[in-house]
Structure 1
């Protein structure tokens, strides 16, 4: 998780340093109106840079996976940058609008403007941009209002995944409008500074990324097609097990990874953990928890032979390590990434001492029997915790299974708050922070 913190800090500090390094930023008089102008300019720069990196991260390119420790972490960084860009954009807008309102209320006195002269004194290049300034300001303002609506929708948990995904498609359009707004209103002299060079590179990369998104090419190179070969519905815990026979090439996957699966083009892709190991059979399996309006319909709408598109694999929840003891903790459908690793272990001579804690409030007898069988074949000690019968699993209970924190890795997949509680407990007890592994599986 540290890698995304480093990336986030690096992007912000670089942007701030380049902006503050411009001559006009450092020499701004300490009076309201000059400071207002500088803040408007700086907040606009921070906003467009943050949005550019957020747009780049949204296209699911492969080269940042290893640095950012998987697509789940990349989406978290994407969200942080999106919120940062939004806050900077709001600041930009407020410093433009609020002083004008205060002038209208006779609270502030409007300064006398110094006109830069007529268009004939400018170069043809500068003159070209100068003619567009009024339009760029207006269209940028309308793009900002559209951005407010979309960001509020993205942050709301009440909006369905489908609506959030469809509305998100408008983001590249808004971004490209704001790129135009930024290019036209950027001070001409600043294009020849380190800030200008950096900004131009960022805008080019961001614009290319936005075009890839608009053309529907995100993840296109990592797609495989197939047909549903088996379906098993575990009614008690509301989980649908789907096995897909792939009919086009698949690069293979590691245990603990996930993929975006499209059962219906109108609905679009949904992320699900892969529950099978890759054995060149051409089959890949998923356990799908019935959470949400669309996913609840799958047990009734899917049929053997249906066409499916699988995009991936993604994620870096790799349970292999050199530690002597592994503690696996799964909450509900969080058991999914551990299933593929159990299959891997069953065909290998594993050396580690592994204990799996599986907590559920809806145990399904058939699923539990299969889990017992897979753990027995893999040589994994299994503890089933039915929270309806005995209450929540505690960190103290798990700790009794740990022999030595220095030689132990803890892997968790489940509710985020539960994960934070466990990590805090184990780190205080002596576990190194980097030995607690948690998937940030949240695409909203």
Structure 2
């Protein structure tokens, strides 16, 4: 049995949340031993460029490294992730057999791409997911070889960004999704219909309301086609599976924590909860892996897979890790994300989940340049802009303040309001009640 090293603060997860959390610990005065554990061999890197600039070849994968903003003086344990947490003994076991003792622990393991099941063809060559730097590097190499037909399964943000990139590369693309429009779960079908128009204008063969059942390979074990539930077949020699992500929590199994494939449940101060609902005074979580009661949305549990949340929540968790029990501050966050696809810059704030109305308050849907606001029970809860972000900060403030829907009238460049009830697909059986996902 390995001997545990001396205790200190340990951050498990060497990505954006882990790096910024570690920096916040040092910035807030922690001068003790600091260890950062990551299952990948790379220092922290930025993920948003992977589905845009790296796939297009505009950036090399190693050009996505995140800047280190504060001197860490940390012990980096890369390439061997955590495999078990022994909570009673305050120890973490790594894949290489090392054992780390901890005084305080920050869980920032993020999420992992949802793979295609092996029994229905997931083990065939030519099938890719896109989550990490190595994924992007492999996929970029495959795209550069000029596949005859690319099939993308899933029309969330990652799937749509990948489709945009493939068309920029001149590759034929088919995009399959069971919902009526792209981004239907996050934007609703009315606004999502604009993305459908952009897909078709760009030459993407979009197949809404379609579901892939299995992939078929050639004698060499390489994918050649997909069989759909409607008995149609799509020929493809390269497949990108973009079906969302599951949280990286397997290593916490058996530790007595509220943790599963949907994330690690925390209290408002980012302290991880035990299975009986008690906050752990020495274990915190932040970033994609964490779900917590957000006071901006009535204290409902929320998991947010957005860049800004990873930065803000990890800093907040670090602050609380150094604070006494009586000075634990609640974390509140207005989700926000952005995406660039088909020549359009999409920005969003808030959450659309549960919206009963949506209004175009700037621009027009037909021009593909507009700002839409989502409302629920007479209050504004979210907003999204398509190349029309001038008023987005004002709507973010209105959403945080719980102002009426829509909150801003008679703006100087505001046309006639166009409003309707949004349509959202029913939630997936495996989804959390409130999840804000990038992709």
Give the TM-score category using the shorter length: under 0.3
TM (norm. structure 2) is 0.26
**Structure with the larger helix share:** 1
**Between Structure 1 and Structure 2, whose CA radius of gyration is higher?**
1
TM (norm. structure 1) is 0.26
